[in-house]
Every structure is written in C-alpha cells, then in structure tokens.
Amino acid sequence: MRISHRPLTAVLPMMGVVLMALKGHSFVLTNYSLEKQSTEEIPNSLGHYLYFIVAPTLLYELAYPRTKTIRLSYVVQLTVPMLICFGLMYVIMMQFVNPILSDTTSNIIYRIFRCSLSAFLIWLLLFFSVFHCALNLLAELTMFGDRLLYEDWWNATTMLEFWKKWNGPIHYWCLRHVYVETQVYGNWSKPLASLATFMVSGIAHELVCSVVFRKLSLYFFLGMVVQLPLQLVSKYFENTRVGNMIMWVSLFLGQPLLEVRNLWELRM
C-alpha cells in the first residue's frame, strides 16, 4: 500500500488558511471594539496590518514590543536545530512508521501501539522545531519582541494547564476571541464559554485534518471533547507528580494514536 498523496503538501496551505482566518477575525473584532470604546479615529495603516500578518501572533494590537536589531548568530542557532529536527522526523517516519503501517499481516491495533513511540517522538520534534525554532526565528526576522510562545507545559499537572501552556498563540486567541467574547457579547456563563473554547479548537483541528487526510473522521474533534472529562479527573491530582504522570500518559497514548490512525486510513 502506498499513500496516494503527500499530507505535508496539504497541511501547510490548510494551516495557512486557518491562521489567516484567525488573524482576520482578530483584526476585525479588535478594531470594532476599539471604535466602540473611543471617540477618536483609530490609527491604522496598511503597513501595520501587513506586519501583523507576518508577525508570530494571532492577536491584533495597535502596537507591539519590538527589538532593535536582527541577531544573525541567533538566526543560525535556530535554523540549524530546526533543519536537524525536520531530518530526524523524516528518518523516523521512513524507517519506523512506514514499515509498520505497510505490514498487513499484523492486527491493526497492534500496529498502532507499535507506532506510538515513534509518533510521539515525531510530535515532540515537531513541537520543538515549530514553537521554539520556527516561531522564534520568525520573531527574530520581524523584530517581534514578545517571545512568550509557550510555557513549561512538560511540568503541567492538569490537562487544562497543559492546553494553556503548550501553544501560546492559539491559547491567547481562544482566550480573547472565544472565552471572553462569548461572555461579553453573548452573556454566556464561564462553563459554557469554556465548552465553546474546546469546541472551536476541536472544529479547527478536525477541519485541518479532514483536508490533509481527505476524510472526515471526527477523531481529532472527539479527542478535544474528551479533554473535558479528562480535565475533571486530572484536577484531583493538581500540583502532584501523579497529575504530571497522567498528563504525559494521555499525551503518549492520545495524540500519536490519532496521528497513526489517520495515516493508516490514508493508506487504505
């Protein structure tokens, strides 16, 4: 069995479309809110909007913290490990994941669990290459001063703490434009706003994955919905080693299984 198309060629444009949609929403709603609060004309320019489009942030602001220069040595320090991570991901995929998925003699559940470690390593490498290397590289090249792209999610003791820390740009966008806006404009309660935040995140993940894998499976959407009861369980172990272990086990079993399951269906 061979994959009929390359998912990477689909995921990059689709993620670009989703990110532009999130940026556009922030641009429109932020200007609308500022115009309602101020009687003076809001200073906007095409140059500032274009800078917002390329900056590593999803939240539109009238001013951003900026650095004075581009450090070429730091650019090299980010570029080299990023390329190494991409190479390692390719090697792991070709040498470990593909042979297991191509083995039609074994049970599918057995193959999925055999792929879990490799898929989890790919996920860790993807996080480091994108959130630490690529986004910091983009911030350096655009002289963007706010580098809070992620926090110490590996020390999280609840799933809610993990989701708050592992993806800074998406978390802050959801916080402002889903969690807060549903309460301000829709008069929703905090629990309902929290549910809406997870639902929007789940729909966005499923939208990207459905286009990439050419199939609406709802695996990623259901994976996000499952986070709500899992959060209730992990809350009992907040600030404990057991809570941190639950977080790591859920990552090891959850996300790699979703990735491998979709790759397997792509080969069918």
- pLDDT tens digits, 54-80: 999 999 998 899 999 999 999 999 999
pLDDT higher than threshold 70 for residue 39 = no
Query: Please, which pLDDT band fits residue 194 given cuts at 50, 70 and 90?
Result: confident
Q: What percent of the chain has pLDDT over 90?
A: 40
Q: Which residues contact 252 (CB under 8 A, 6 or more apart)?
A: 116, 120
Q: 16-40 burial by CB neighbour count: b if 16+ within 10 A, else e?
A: eeeeeebbebbbeebeeebeeeeee
pLDDT of 182? 92
- Strand ranges for the chain from DSSP E: none
Cα dihedral angle (159, 16, 33, 180), rounded to 10 degrees? -10
Look up 205 and say whether it is catalytic: yes
Which amino acid is present at 115? C
Can you give the pTM of this predicted structure? 0.86
Q: Across residues 74-96, what is the average pLDDT?
A: 94
Residues 25, 48, 132, 205: which is the catalytic one? 205
Query: Please, which pLDDT band fits residue 226 given cuts at 50, 70 and 90?
Result: confident
Q: Which residues contact 100 (CB under 8 A, 6 or more apart)?
A: 111, 114, 115, 118
Query: Please, which pLDDT band fits residue 4 given cuts at 50, 70 and 90?
Result: very low
Query: Please, which pLDDT band fits residue 266 given cuts at 50, 70 and 90?
Result: low
- The ranges assigned to domains in the chain are 7-267
pLDDT of 261? 66
The per-residue pLDDT of the chain, averaged, comes to 84
Q: Across residues 183-208, what is the average pLDDT?
A: 85
Query: Please, which pLDDT band fits residue 209 given cuts at 50, 70 and 90?
Result: confident
